[in-house]
Amino acid sequence: MTQADSGLVAVYPGTFDPVTNGHLDLVQRCAPLVGKLVVSVLANEAKSPLFSAEERVDMLKVVLQEFANVEIDFFDGLLIDYARRKQARLILRGIRAISDYEYELQMALMNRRLAPEIETMFMMAGEAHSFISSRLVKEVIRLGGNISGLVPPPVEDILRRRILNQGG
């Protein structure tokens, strides 16, 4: 699929702590549909991420470098305010399970109330990625499990170094 010939800007926000193959699946499927896809790291340190916002941005830059219409960024504060600054008309959100949908629906409805001009698009996770979450990946690697195929190889290397340096 080729890139859409459109000025449509979409924002794909997330913590990406770390980026998984599920995240990459959504980027691969959405990027051809829009003129520009801004993959943006939520820089909320209150969530106690394993990686800093800058480290997460750097990981995304490595694994998404092949996408000409993908921009990597970070934000804090209200997503709607950020989307407006980026002139986005679309927010991309991934759905793995019904439990994701319930939370995401609440957020989408609040965002619509705050900014009716910006739509939210839900994309179902691909079957091969529907069980992957950053939290689960970190738990598996901390316990010595195999995470190959769950995250891109460069991210797996970074995760292994970080977990080993923390002593588990």
Residues serving a catalytic function are 23, 47, 96, 134
3-state secondary structure of 4: coil
Cα separation values, 151 from 24, 101, 138, Å: 9, 23, 11
Q: What torsion, rounded to 10 degrees, do the Cα atoms 101, 103, 109, 113 define?
A: -160
Q: If you write DSSP's letter for every residue of 50-111 in order, what string do you get?
A: SS-HHHHHHHHHHHTTT-TTEEEEEE-S-HHHHHHHTT-SEEEEEE-SHHHHHHHHHHHHHH
